[in-house]
């Protein structure tokens, strides 16, 4: 078997290419209560997206106060959403020497129609976030958006590197925070509340988005 994904996988895990020899003994790791608990937690939060959300919410202390803070931010962000997206896609991404690689056609020119589609998809993502409905439908949507960036549905040539996702989310994070800091410079408490909530939410989104990228050990 040879494909972009298979080659990438074998480079990442060279041990997979070696001869398999049984160690000849059972692995007692699940006899250790802490590991058993961790395994069950991983298994359950991989199978049930709402358990994943609940677990991550506890880890990050993402509470109703954070949801309220994100709702508060809607009145600041929504009127500027188009300008924010224009900046991210038409100023930052298409001009960044590395990130723009994913927006160029085979001749090296920026594929404008493709950028328009990516921008529209990001717009839909942000609109769904601003609805603040953290239900199963929302988290399945986040997971699905991540999953379609890897060959999980059989498109072996499709593999968007995780570092690209992190660069994009990192840039959106940074840009939103600078924007909010400017808008809320006279209300530092509100700024703290909103940026704290968005930071927690970004981490939960990044976690769920990448569920189908990796096993938990990676």
In Å, what is the CA distance from 16 to each residue of 3, 25, 147, 210? 16, 20, 23, 22
By beta-carbon proximity to other proteins, the closer residue of 101 and 112 is: 112
According to CB under 8 A, which residues from 124 to 143 bind other proteins? 124, 127
Least separation in angstroms between residue 114's CB and other proteins is 9
Q: Applying CB under 8 A, does 18 fall inside the site for other proteins?
A: no
Q: Applying CB under 8 A, does 83 fall inside the site for other proteins?
A: no
By beta-carbon proximity to other proteins, the closer residue of 121 and 192 is: 121
By beta-carbon proximity to other proteins, the closer residue of 80 and 123 is: 123
* Cβ pair 4, 157 in contact under 8 A: yes
Q: Applying CB under 8 A, does 117 fall inside the site for other proteins?
A: yes
CA–CA dist 116, 11 (Å, integer)? 34
Least separation in angstroms between residue 143's CB and other proteins is 14
Count the neighbouring beta carbons within 10 Å of the beta carbon of residue 130: 16
Tell me how many degrees the CA angle 88-90-95 measures, rounded to the nearest 5.
90
Q: Pull the structure tokens for residue 9.
A: 């996988």
By beta-carbon proximity to other proteins, the closer residue of 28 and 79 is: 79
CA–CA dist 135, 139 (Å, integer)? 6
Q: Name the one range near other proteins by CB under 8 A: 1-9, 71-79, 110-118, 206-214.
A: 110-118
Q: Applying CB under 8 A, does 58 fall inside the site for other proteins?
A: no
Task: State phi, psi for 182 to the nearest 5 degrees.
Answer: -70, -45
Helix/strand/coil for 23: coil
Helix/strand/coil for 40: helix
By beta-carbon proximity to other proteins, the closer residue of 120 and 152 is: 120
In Å, what is the CA distance from 73 to each residue of 11, 156, 185? 43, 39, 14
Q: Applying CB under 8 A, does 87 fall inside the site for other proteins?
A: no
Least separation in angstroms between residue 113's CB and other proteins is 5
Q: Which parts of this chain interact with other proteins (CB under 8 A)?
A: 113, 116-117, 119-121, 123-124, 127
């Amino acid at each position: 078997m040879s494909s972009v994904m298979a080659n990438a996988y074998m480079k990442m895990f060279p041990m997979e290419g070696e001869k398999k020899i049984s160690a000849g003994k059972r692995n007692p790791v699940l006899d250790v209560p802490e590991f058993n608990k961790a395994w069950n937690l991983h298994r359950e939060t991989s199978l049930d997206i709402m358990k994943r959300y609940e677990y991550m919410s506890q880890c990050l202390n993402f509470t109703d106060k954070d949801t309220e803070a994100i709702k508060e931010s809607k009145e600041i962000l929504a009127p500027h959403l188009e300008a924010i997206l224009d900046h991210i896609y038409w100023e930052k991404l298409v001009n960044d020497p590395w990130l723009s690689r994913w927006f160029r056609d085979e001749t090296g020119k920026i594929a404008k129609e493709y950028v328009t589609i990516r921008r529209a998809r990001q717009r839909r993502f942000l609109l769904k976030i601003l609805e603040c409905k953290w239900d199963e439908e929302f988290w399945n949507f986040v997971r699905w958006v991540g999953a379609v960036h890897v060959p999980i549905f059989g498109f072996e040539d499709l593999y968007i590197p995780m570092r690209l996702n992190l660069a994009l989310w990192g840039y959106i994070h940074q840009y939103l925070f600078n924007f909010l800091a400017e808008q809320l410079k006279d209300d530092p408490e509100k700024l703290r509340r909103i940026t704290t909530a968005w930071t927690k939410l970004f981490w939960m989104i990044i976690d769920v988005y990448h569920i189908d990228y990796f096993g938990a050990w990676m």
